[in-house]
Amino acid sequence: MTAGEWVGHLIATQRHRHPRDDARALRQRFEDGLVVDRRGVAFGFEDPVAPGQDVFFYRLPAPEPEVPYEIGILHRDRDLLVADKPPFLATMPRGKHITETLTVRLRRALDLPELTPAHRLDRLTSGLLLCTLRRDVRGAYQQLFASRAVTKTYEAIAVHDPALQPGTVWRSRMIKVPGEIQGHIVPGEPNATTTLVDVIPLTPEEQATLESVHGPCPPLAHYVLQPETGRTHQLRLHMWEAGVPILGDDIYPRIHTEDEEDFRRPLHLVSTGLSFVDPLSGEGRTFTAPRRLLPVQY
């Protein structure tokens, strides 16, 4: 198979393909030297591709709905940037979310081509996201999260249940089958642990603000959560299992379709705190996000 045939096949079989990514655009990639091997050597359109050989090229992103929220910048130094990610914005490019991601937006807006998140937040979750700015420090900070050396704090808003007391620890076994939207809590050895740190009833003003967006609600509360582990949808599942699904959750208890997604009604789950010992300086570092009920729009 030639390089042109191989890249053409990959483009034609994309699930989310730009209508202008046609035969002409395919040829243009090769003319511009934008199809390369692992060493950065450009392929010609008719060059053969050997089995197992790597071919690198950029796909033309399909049109994406614009997420109408700002990314806040809470801290920036030579190595790190701490962003305040809004809901509905994916962390990294994947699938049909390419340009409308925190990584691409910040790289473009700040001219920081090496900016890379050290961890991830779900697309619907908002709040603190630690990014590295230089490739040579990336691994050290990513390893902090991989080794669970970061204390993470979240706040969720849900119906106030006075029976749920600070200090409660939820331990469960969670699984998520690839291709399925919902995760599940199943019998077995726990692999997901979350501590309920505090429960703070909303003020009447806060309650009124959220009801103006979500409609009438029972009395609501802030739930301060600290996950010890990082299973997919861990906090959403633990809150659902406790009988207080998070306000704005479009997966638990019922799966909503993407056609039902409403940018005006976010998931009220926010990463509000990150604490760790800096792997380069050895100093303790803590970042906090301001409490807010609704994200900041353009």
- What pLDDT, on a 0 to 100 scale, did the predictor assign at position 258? 75
Return the closest-CA partner of residue 242 out of 175, 160, 126. Answer: 160
Report residue 197's pLDDT band, with 50, 70 and 90 as the boundaries: very high
Six token digits for residue 153? 């704090």
Report residue 5's pLDDT band, with 50, 70 and 90 as the boundaries: very high
Q: Structural domain boundaries of the chain?
A: 1-63, 72-288
Q: Is the pLDDT of residue 146 over 90?
A: yes
Q: CATH topology for 72-288? A: Pseudouridine synthase (3.30.2350)
Return the closest-CA partner of residue 129 out of 119, 138, 137, 139. Answer: 119
- What pLDDT, on a 0 to 100 scale, did the predictor assign at position 61? 83
Number of CB atoms found within 10 A of residue 90's CB: 23
- What pLDDT, on a 0 to 100 scale, did the predictor assign at position 290? 84
Report residue 49's pLDDT band, with 50, 70 and 90 as the boundaries: very high
Q: What is the pLDDT of residues 199-218, one digit of tens each?
A: 999 999 999 999 999 999 99
- What pLDDT, on a 0 to 100 scale, did the predictor assign at position 125? 97
Number of CB atoms found within 10 A of residue 60's CB: 16
Average pLDDT for 243-269? 92
The percent of the chain in helix, strand and coil, each rounded to the nearest 5, is 20, 30, 50
Q: Is the pLDDT of residue 126 over 90?
A: yes
Q: Is the pLDDT of residue 62 over 90?
A: no
Mean pLDDT of the chain: 95
- What pLDDT, on a 0 to 100 scale, did the predictor assign at position 179? 83
Cβ proximity of 126 and 155 under 8 Å: no
Q: Is the pLDDT of residue 236 over 80?
A: yes
Dihedral sign computed on CA atoms, order 90, 296, 84, 293: negative
Q: pTM of the predicted model, to two decimals?
A: 0.87
- What pLDDT, on a 0 to 100 scale, did the predictor assign at position 3? 97
Q: Where are the alpha helices (DSSP H) in 46-125?
A: 102-110
Q: What is the pLDDT of residues 166-181, one digit of tens each?
A: 999 999 999 999 889 8
Number of CB atoms found within 10 A of residue 96's CB: 17
- What pLDDT, on a 0 to 100 scale, did the predictor assign at position 94? 86
Report residue 42's pLDDT band, with 50, 70 and 90 as the boundaries: very high
Looking at per-residue confidence, does 87 or 98 come out higher? Answer: 87
Q: Is the pLDDT of residue 223 over 80?
A: yes
Report residue 182's pLDDT band, with 50, 70 and 90 as the boundaries: very high
What is the distance between the alpha carbons of residues 186 and 179, in angstroms, rounded to a whole number? 18
- What pLDDT, on a 0 to 100 scale, did the predictor assign at position 36? 97
- What pLDDT, on a 0 to 100 scale, did the predictor assign at position 209? 96
Share of the chain above pLDDT 70, in %: 100
- What pLDDT, on a 0 to 100 scale, did the predictor assign at position 111? 97
Report residue 96's pLDDT band, with 50, 70 and 90 as the boundaries: confident
